[in-house]
Amino acid sequence: MVYRTYDRTMRDYLLLKTGFFTSTTWWILLAVVYVIALVLICLRIIYDTRSNAKALAYLMLVIFVPVLGMFLYFSVGINHRKRKIFSNKSQLDAKMAKKLREEISRSSEHIFDKDNPALEANKELALMLIKDSMSPLTANNKVKILVNGELKFPDVLEAIRNAKNHIHMEYYIYEDDEVGCEIEELLIKKAKEGVDVRFIYDDFGSSTIRKKMVPRLKEGGVKVFPFYRVIFWAFANRLNYRNHRKIIVVDGNIGFVGGINVSNKYVNKETGGKKLFWRDTHMRIEGAGVLYLQYLFLCDWNFCSGDELKLEKHFFPKALDGPVKDGKIVQIAASGPDSEKPTILFALLQAIYLATDEILITTPYFIPGDSIVDALMVSAMGGVSVKLLVPGISDSVVVNAAARSYYDDLLAAGVEIYFYKKGFVHAKTMVTDRKTVMVGSANMDYRSFDLNFEVNAIVYDKEMGEELRKIFFDDLKDAEKVDPERWKNRRWNQQLWEKTARLVSPLM
């Protein structure tokens, strides 16, 4: 008996010395900790994620991709400081908005009283934007559609050259190239003339200007700040919540908004090389429609600079409802991580459901989710002509594949889909019933609806509707229409790849 006890004691001692017992215990403990962590992360995904599709995608990621899935979720799925950062920004916005609320309500009611068929047909859309984000209706505007960089940049340079009081700019992509340097030199020149020049650049999209151009601008008297600085590249959560807006406001009277960033690639020049043709759309607004763009800029500026610019008269020189002959009615839709609701998504849905005759959409990234797809299908099956222009040449294989997974249902419902073949179509536009125009920075994808700061301009006007409609049909001359039967019978492995890409599309 003594010998048996001794043998068992020696065996346990030897096992402990060899590390077998310690190793097994640690593995059990690690497994228990991992399961607890997995359960807690799954609960956080369910609690924090507004989109069901995105929540399911993250749950699949963390469950079926052990450890790495958790790392990816904490890297790109959430932002540890989102609540704190953007709640502070929202407080600043609300503080500024309080001063505008009364005037916005009064002026918008006055414009509704005017006889405008385009506005009357979209009254629900206009009211929704007023209620949701206090975006005012403005009637005294001159509007110009700018096709491609070769039309946009001369107008931008002229407006900056004539600035007298201030120049406000914010861009997702601003590059240190020929176009970027030409604008940079003019900004410095105006700053030295005594014009207040403020510039917000996205720290991810415009990373190439940090080291050289930003110091040059600061030295030249331009006030420059990055939007939500990317400090640790290893922690990709800071790559979420980017400022995808493209806004210029000059003297509170002239504004630019749309899809065109500041880069050589947006200008289609004959260089003798094989440069990809870049098809894009921007808008120039002169009048009170600029005031909400100014408001957005000031909120973004106060957030990223730490200043608190006041709503001073020289920032808002135009009356919201001042009389201008043949002025266009303009309203701005903006949203971002600081918004309580996905305002731009709601605006698109409302415009689609209000259309009774025709819907023309151009978008470079089409991962719309079920709500947009259902709205387009319902419209098409109800007799509305729905046409969708998307890239035939894409800059993202996975995004392109995910987008194509939606086409089967749309084609079956009667939606016409066209692949742009001349180059890459980057425009984000929509025309409904030849009288409602949307031009902006927002793509039709999860990122634009949920993660990025975006801004779209809406014009309620038959003349502008006809103009953008003509541009759309001109683009169709360089596009190939998708044949529903051929599309339905494409290879099974291609369909499998597209459906797989769609599964992960909420994570893009």
Helix (H, G, I), strand (E, B) or coil at 361: strand
The DSSP element (H or E) to which 424 belongs, if any, is strand 424-425
DSSP designation for 260: -
Helix (H, G, I), strand (E, B) or coil at 151: helix
Query: Measured between alpha carbons, how far is 197 from 18 in angstroms, rounded to an integer?
Result: 70
Cβ atoms of residues 469 and 362 within 8 Å? no
DSSP designation for 479: E
Contacts of 128 (CB under 8 A, 6+ apart): 346, 347, 350
Query: Measured between alpha carbons, how far is 371 from 469 in angstroms, rounded to an integer?
Result: 24
Q: What is the distance, to the nearest Å, from the Cα of residue 424 to the centroid of all Cα atoms in its chain? A: 18
Other residues' Cβ atoms within 10 Å of the Cβ of residue 408: 16
Query: Measured between alpha carbons, how far is 209 from 376 in angstroms, rounded to an integer?
Result: 40
Active site residues: 244, 246, 251, 426, 428, 433
Query: Measured between alpha carbons, how far is 140 from 322 in angstroms, rounded to an integer?
Result: 6
**SS3 annotation, 375-404:** HHHHHHHCCCEEEEEEECCCCCHHHHHHHH
Helix (H, G, I), strand (E, B) or coil at 166: strand
Helix (H, G, I), strand (E, B) or coil at 172: coil
Query: Measured between alpha carbons, how far is 477 from 475 in angstroms, rounded to an integer?
Result: 5
CA distances from 456 to 20, 175, 177, 259, 440 (A): 64, 23, 27, 9, 4
**425: which 2 tokens?**
């179509």
